[in-house]
Every structure is written in structure tokens, then in C-alpha cells.
A and B are shown apart, each in its own frame.
Chain A
Amino acid sequence: MDQPKPKKPTNVELLNRLRDVLGGRRVSRALGDRLNYSHDLWPRSLLEIRRGEAPYRPDLIIWPETTEEVSRVLKVCNEMRTPVVPFGAGSGMCGGVLPVCGGVVLDTKRMNHIERISEESQVAVCQTGILGIHLEQELNRRGYTMGHFPGSFGISTLGGYLATRSAGQAATMYGKIEDMVLSLQAVLADGTVIHTRTAPRRATGPDFNHVLLGSEGVLAVITRAHMRLHALPAAREFRSAVFPKLDNGLEALRLMLRFGLRPTIVRLSDPADTSVTMKALGLSAQGCLLVMVFDGRSAQIELESAKALEICLANGGRDRGEEPARHWYNHRFAEHFRQSPLLAEQKMVLDTIELAATWTNVKPLYDAVHKALGRQATVLAHVPHAYPEGCALAFTVLCKVTTEDEFKRYDRLWQTAMDAALKNGGVISHAHGIGRQKVRWLAKQLPLALPLLQGLKRRLDPNNILNPGKLSVEVECPC
């Protein structure tokens, strides 16, 4: 993959001006910080680290604490034509925070306060640097949940969710991040602070929230959000079923959602993924495992889960009881621990390619991508999120990498998956975003919309200081 060259180091004047705004403690040019902020969790970056490389080093890292400070530092950077990369916790998997032009990484994590919780409106007002897990723990203590549990739950920020249009494991019930946000505060490249109005809904022209959601830091730095809350559920039920084929499971899911059931979590595994999941339980199963979690009042979820199981059985499923679902739920974030031994000891790459399609296209998409990837890697797939209109597909790929061809092999995997997705009616990302990794295919996905987005970018950020090289194939560094 062609990569742009890093920009020359930032000058002392910039350092001094940022120190004037933030003080010495919240501006760093330490080598260690520059290395640790040089990448996110894109496996390609991890391969580079294994070779002792860190090609995109920022010049400075800053930690503002307020919207006003963000505004002041952006004014300085805009005046000095310095790139600024907004950074949450760096858990992205596609190079969304790579400082490809060097410049300043703006870490939001010191903006981590829950400013207010309105009990009456069930709304939390939060700074966006708060870690998702800390936000949820605090809400739980007060009897609420936001209902957002992405796989990166413990290692990602609210701002990251907003900037990448994240979706969590409980999206079927609680919705995706765009369904959870009521209003945003953000800072434009020239330091202008903008707000959208907090309301349950609005019909006041295009919704600017949706312009900023998924903008991956190229349009503005999102600093505060009003988030919708839900009361913590009173009860929880687990159900599992195994289907002979993936088609049966997909059809059961489709019918459940069409019927109006809204399990909190559904996760349908293909045969390979089922084998791994069941092995962890000390069980074996051939077929496709569906785990379901239902939250709510006990009488309600008893009815819902019974109906869901009835639909499963009617579509060829066998009842496997509570345990597979309960076990998966209790260990749902633990699978990420597999990454370290795989990379460190077995020299293998573990990555997730996540796509989405309508029910009409989902099986052909699965077949095409699975077939294409299967020639190059071990592939496990599952449906992590389902909606009345369709679902997401997540392909976990595992492939041996060797020193000489590791990058080529890795890039070829993605080329294969993206091409297959585009050819078979899928979207190239359901919840992880685009970053530097998928931007080449974004132009194919959005041939008309991408130029419009870039026009908006030029209007809001004429000097192109905000996260250059993202949502844009070309890397044009400000100068």
C-alpha cells in the first residue's frame, strides 16, 4: 500500500503557543508519547510495531480539558497550518487516527466528565473524552444505561463512538450511537464552537448531528454530547439455539425482527465460529449457534424469549438452553485477549472485517466474502447485529504472516473482502469506520457523495488541518 511520507517536525513557536494555552504539563513532545500516539489498533500498525517501526509520528500531543481550550488550540493550529488529529483511546481498527502528516494529536481523554444527568428527561450531558466503560459504570450506579457496548467497550471513548458511527452488541434493542445522541457540541477548524439543539427529534432541515456522526475527525472535534438514557433492565433472560445451516438462522432472525421482537443481543455464528464458541464451553455442536439475550421486565421478556425460541424451532433450530448464551455474554469481551499470543508467539494476524447488507443480499454476501477469504486465511464469521431490514456480518480472519510478505498478504486479504462486499451489495463498514484502511473503497462505495463531503470539508476546514488523509483518498498535508 502506498503511504505518504511524514511531515517535518513542528516548530518551537507552535510548541510555545500551545503551552501558552494549556500549560507545560498538557503538551508533550516526548519520544515515547510520539510513538504511542503514532497508531491505533489497526493490525497493520501492529505488524509495523513488530518490526520496530512507527512511520507516522506526531510532533506534539496535547490534552485540552474544555471546549474552550479545544477552540483556542485549533485557532493556533489553523493559523500555523498544523495538522490536528483528534484522538479518543486509540482503539480503532482501521487507522483512523494515523497522523499521516505529523502535527498535533489532540487527546480528548482529559475531557472526561459527566456534567449533568437529567433524571426527568433521561439525558446525560457528557464530555466526549470519557471512556465508554467509565460512563456506563457511572450510569449504572444511578440506575441507568446508555445501552452501548461495542467490542471495544473498555478501551474507547464516547467521542470515538460518535466520530466513527459506532454500534454496540445491544444495538438491536438500544439502537446504534446515532439513535442515542440528542445533540452535539463541536469545534470547527478555525476554533468556532457549534452546537446542535437538544430535543427528542427535530424537523429543522438536515440534521447536523448526522453530518458530524461518522466524520472521523475531519470536520470538527466533537467535545460534548447529550445522550439518551434508559432505565437499567429489571430482568435478563438467555436463550440459545443451533441451526443446521446459516440460512436457517438468518431466516429465524429475520422473522423474529419482523414479528417485532427486539432481543437486546443476538449473535448468530457460522459453523466455524460455532465450533470455537462451543469448544470454549466444553461442548460440541455442528451447525450455527444463535445466542440471544433479552432484557426488560420479567413477564415481558418471558413472552418474548418464548416466541423467539418458537420461531427458531419452526426454522429448523434446536433449543440449546441458556448456557451457551450466558457463557458467551459473560466472556463477550474476552476474545480480544487472544490477539497477544497470536501476534507475539504464533506470528499470526487476527482481524475483523465487518460489513452489512439487507436480508436480500446478506447470504450471497456471506458466501462471496467467505469463499474469497477462505482461500487465504482461516475465517470465522458471525452476525453481530441484526435489524428488521438486514444485519451486519463480521468475518474474523486469522492468517500466518511471515517477515517477507506479511504486509502484502495482509493487504490482499482486505482487497479481497472489500471487492467482494462491493460486488455483492454490501457496505464496506457497519460500525468500525473507514480510517486510512478502507478509504480506497469508500470512493467506490460513495461515488457521488464523497465529492460532496469533500466540498463540505473544504468549506469547514479550508486549510485541511483536521485529520488529513481520512475520508479522502488523497493525502494533502496543510502547509
Chain B
Amino acid sequence: MIIGKSIPRIDAYDKVTGRAKYTDDLCDKNALVAKIKHADAAHAVVKAVDVTEAQKIPGVVKIVTCFDVPRHTFPTAGHPWSTDPAHQDVADRNLLTDHVRYYGDDVAAVIAEDEVAASQAVRAIKVEYEELPFVLDVQEAMKDGAPQLHEKFPNNILSHTQIRKGNYEEAIKEPGLIKIEGWYDTPTVQHCHIENAVCYAWEEGGRIHVTASTQIPHITRRIIAQALGVDWGKVRLVKPFVGGGFGDKQDALYEPLCAFLTTQVGGRLVKLECSREETFINCRVRHAIRYHLISWVRSDGTLVARKADCYSNQGAYASHGHGVCAKGMNSIPQMYPCPNMECDSWTVFTNRQVAGAMRGYGMPQVTFALESHTDDICRKLGLDPVAYRRRTVMPVGFVDEFSKNELYSDTFNQVMDKGAEYIDFERKRKEYENQTGDIRRGIGMSLFWYNTAVWPISLESVSCRMVMNQDGSVQLQLAETEIGQGADTAFAQMTAETLGIPFEKVHVVTSQDTDVTPFGTSAYASRQTYAAGMAIRDCAEAFKKHILEVAYTYTRMQPYLMDIVDGNIIRTTDGRVLMTLAELAATKLYDLQNSEHLTMQKTTQLKSNAYSFGCCFAEVEVDIPMCSVKVLDIINVHDAGTLINPALAEAQVHGGMSMAIGYALSEKMLYDEKTGRLLNGNLLDYKLSTTMDHPHLEAQFVENPEPTSAYGTKSLGEPPALPAAPAIRNAILQATGVAFDEVPMRPHLLYRKFAEAGLL
């Protein structure tokens, strides 16, 4: 068994020695450099762009303004295309815009011989604006008379969906019910992947070639073609090693503009690389979602009725749009079933940064709201948070009607058992009751809900190709991208397992090239081991069958009497090695009568989805006078089904926990209310958490193999980022008695809330 082994990742040595080439490493150093003129108004119409001075700067090759680009719009979301227009993403983008919708929107682009000339020219461009009123707050933007961002969306509402179950209004009339109500607010945050967005493009052979740091090569190619209005086959996209994406690169960023710019300079090579500041301002962010939750419970805690209003701040353009907020809302009735529910979600345009996909896709937000609210219920009723959740959480055997997802195992109890034992929950919970003094400790926990892949909302299609070499080794090709998470290593393990060849004999083609790589929708929705796993198994089983049929010619044994084990063709009846795969591959390829290059390709469509659940327990120390929280200990427990590579799984959890600690305590994009300008779009003022802000990060697992999955796996990419914020919040609540209703719980907020509570 190669599944379940912590094999070192196949790209480890190349990455740590610097041999792995990322987009910027590969770009020819003679490339022209493109820089963008960003708007210095939050909402405005561009009246004129004066490039006279900019054009005089030595080294400037070409300046393209918002008046020079195609007028048709295109969508950017990294979703599978839909041939049904009703299910297509909102096409609201131009390559450059004369209707500025956020501070920093793209007005013009300079192409120059080098970065210095390009930067000087950008500074020399003069833009004349007619300024419009702007709006940053999601609920303000919904009001009548609020500044309108897009004509087709009155009151800025991109979408509104709802859930109705039972009869909420009737149910709350039951005498003796206790009402628990709370507002919970989450911030706009950025992914902060280490490699900024970067791409380069040139024309060759009448086609546009683009190399880009993207999670989604085939989708980005499609969007480039749509944006430029050319046939999809006219565009080729190559994805080299990627330094992280976390969903930001599950969107077309500047690839369409860069592809357009090369066509404006005779097909010369043009590079467009975002600075860190541009990654904050001009790439994507996590939706800030505000929740209003009302629960009606009996004195024993039984949920009778629940109402949830969710307000999602979309920022200036649709990008991934309503799917993010809707996903979170849809989890509420599943997570804690309740007979009477009214849930509403609104996704609303504002003049903030454009929100798109980000690790967890709406779930860190709703997890903070719902798990904080659950502890608020426990506190009001004097119930133990673990015991209460055991009683009220989704029961074993629960089936979601829409996705057909089923909770097959007693996952929630199992993960809570593990987490509580590790952190010594019961004892510490008692010990930390009724503290006084400046420095206090507390312990808290939270659960989380997640699913796997995007079926049945969108297409799930993965193509897999295996090509055998003369030595019996295999190239594995998938469009499901390695972006740092270790997917290639897991894919190699799966291939080796099913095909029956040694791990070392699997060569994963880590770079995707849309000219060569078979179609797949790539890295998002924590779908890689689940979706690609199915395609790998499908392809490997078919390939094995074919190989054994070919082997029949040379071994004269019936295919059903043979198998491939450890790279050998064996006879299953007695285990005898009949020939090696290397012998077979070479013999067949060079067969003078009947040559064949052994290959297999399959397209596998998924029509299933899988739950992936877990929990977090956190212990904190709060220094009240210093308005400071320190996480002393923290554990995530995940049931991600079978682990393909436990060490990689653990690393994935560590990364998510780190992200979640920043979400809980420090990260927030701040806006100037007067201008709408982002105040802290850099890594100094945006307080990404550092290793010094983390305690030891404990990652544990419960492995209930997922029955619908080819290798028993389900999602683990995004879930680690979900539960820490409410667990930390609930720990602070225990320590101080202060119930925080927003993240991040940074010192500013601690100061305000502690002062209000009379603790300072």
C-alpha cells in the first residue's frame, strides 16, 4: 500500500533548492514590462486620460487607455463554463474601465522597455474624473438612493436567495421560548499568497501564448478568449510552479489584459506582474459577510426556530458572486437541523475591493457567526458547549436533499472526543471559570461544516492521461494543478496504487499547458483528491486492463489471470513474474509487426459530493490591560476520510490554522471613509499573522473512509481555515465574559469592548 504513507513530496527538493521555476523565473529578461494606471477615486467616470507627458518618457513603447479596449464585457470567476446562459457568471468586466468602481480600478496601462520607465510613465498619466458618491458598507449599499455601481442591479443587489422551512412565525409563538439574537461581522481579508499574481504573453504562429501563475489553466484560457473576443483555440495558457493561490488565482486576474497588451505591440513579449500592493488592491479578497442570527430555544436548549440574514459585501465586480454567501447560508440548516427556519442571503456590490474565491468559500464567515452564536446560546442557558453540540448537531444518517451528501459516520462525536482529550477541555473549562485579575485564561471550541467539489451546482469533469515510457514508468497528466498543496504527490501515490507500479515510476507532469494537458477544471473547492482521484482510478484501471490485454500477446496468458504488481506482470494463480512492465512497454513500442505506444486517457464526470467535518479547540490567555490575546494551545481535528499522505495532510491543516489565527486576531482590510481608499494594502500594515503569533499547531484526524470516493478521501484543502476564529472567540468569552461579535479580535476591538465591559 502506497496510500496512507507519508512520502516526501515530489517537488520538495526542487523547491527548496530554488530549481523549481515559477512564472517570473521563466520570463525572458528582454520582455516589455506593463504597469497599470490605477484610479485614485472610489467611484467616478473617466472624462479624459492625458498621456502626453507619459509618452515622452524614454523607454515607453505604448500606452493603452480605457478608451482603447474592446467594449464588450466578460466574467472573471474561475467556475466551469455553463452552456446555459442562465447559469453563466455575470460578465461585468472590461479590460480597462472608464467607470471606476473602486479606489484603484484599472484606467490605463503602460508598456515600456523596463519597470522604471513604466512606473515613471504611470505616474505621469493624468486622469480627469467626474467623481460619484461611493458606498463601502453592505447594508448602506442596499438602501434606496445609495450610489449605484451596476445598471442592471438595482439597490446593488447582485443576488438574493432564501431558505424556508416549517413556519418560523408560528413556531416562535410557543410559550416559554428563549430568544437569542446576535449580529456577527467578518472582515475583508486577502489571501497573501507568497507569489504575487504574474503573467506574460506573446504572439506566435497567429496565436496568443500566455504563461501565468494561476490555479485554473483551462478556465483562464477560456476567459482570455472571451475577453479578447477570439476563438478559444487561439489562446494557449501555460501554468508553471505556483507559489500559492488560496482561491485568489481561481479567477482570471490580469491574464486577459496582458494577452490584450501583447496584441497592441505587434505580439512582442509583455510581462505584467502585480506588486504586493496591487495584490491587495486589484486582485481578489474574501467577502466580508455580516450575519444577523436569531434562535428560539426551549430551556433545555432545543432549537425550535431560527432566522438567519446574511449580507455579503461583493465589492466592485461580480467575480464569484453570490455562490460564496449562499454556500454559507445553505450550511446553516444542515449543521444544526431545526424544524422552522427562515434564511436569507444578499450579495451586494460596494466600492470595495472585488471579493472572489478564498479558502473556505464563505464558510469561515458563517462558521464564525454560527459557532459564536451556538456558544452564546450555551452561555445564556448555562449549558456545556461540547455537550450541547453533541445533542444538536447534524445526526448520523442525515442526508442533504439537494447534494445527496450523507453523514455516514459518527464524525462529530469522534472529532470532539479527540479534540477535548488533547486539550483537556473539561478540566480546564472548570479551572478557568470565574477568574478575576488582569491576566485570564479561557478555553473554547467550535465545529465546522464543509463539502467536497462543486457537484451538483456546477460541472465536475476531470480528464486524466497516462503515457508509458519504455522503462515501464508513466507520465501522469491532469489539469488539476499543484499550487503548493501537495496534489502532485498525492496523485502519484494514487496512480502507483491502482496501476501497480512503484511510486518512483510515476512522473507527474506538474506544469499544465492547455495545448497538451487534457481538460479539467483544476484546483478549487477542495476537490483535488476526490475529483482527480476518481479520474486517476478510472484511467489507471482502464490502462491496467489494456496493458494486460497487450501482455497476452507476449505471455500467452489470459488477461484475467494476470495483474500488475510492483511494476511486473504477474500470474495471479501462482504469483510468478511473467515479464516486467519495462519489457512489455519496450517490446510493444518497438514491435515490428504491431507497434503501440501504451497510453490511456479518460474523462470522468462526477455526480456526487461528500461532507467533510471536524472541530477546533483553543486555549487562550488574555492580558486585559494590554488588550492582547495569546493563543496558548490549539488543535484541529478533521475527518477527511482516508489520508493519502498523512504528513502532507498535517501540513495542510497547519497552513489553514495559521490563516485562521490571523482571521481571528489580526487581519482586516481597512478603508478610509472619506475617500474609499484601502489604508493598509501592504504586508506591514495588514497584520498577517506570523509564526511568532502561533503556538504549536496540533493537527489530528479521524479516518472514516468516504464511501463515494475512489480512494476514501474527501475535502481537506479549505476546511482547516474554518474553525479557529470562533474557537478562539469562545475561549476569550470564557476568559473574560465578553462576547465578541466580530473578527478580527485585534487590540483596537479588545480595548473598546473591555472598556465597555468595565474591565479597564
Physical interaction between A and B: no
By a beta-carbon cutoff of 8 Å, the part of chain A in contact with chain B is none
By a beta-carbon cutoff of 8 Å, the part of chain B in contact with chain A is none
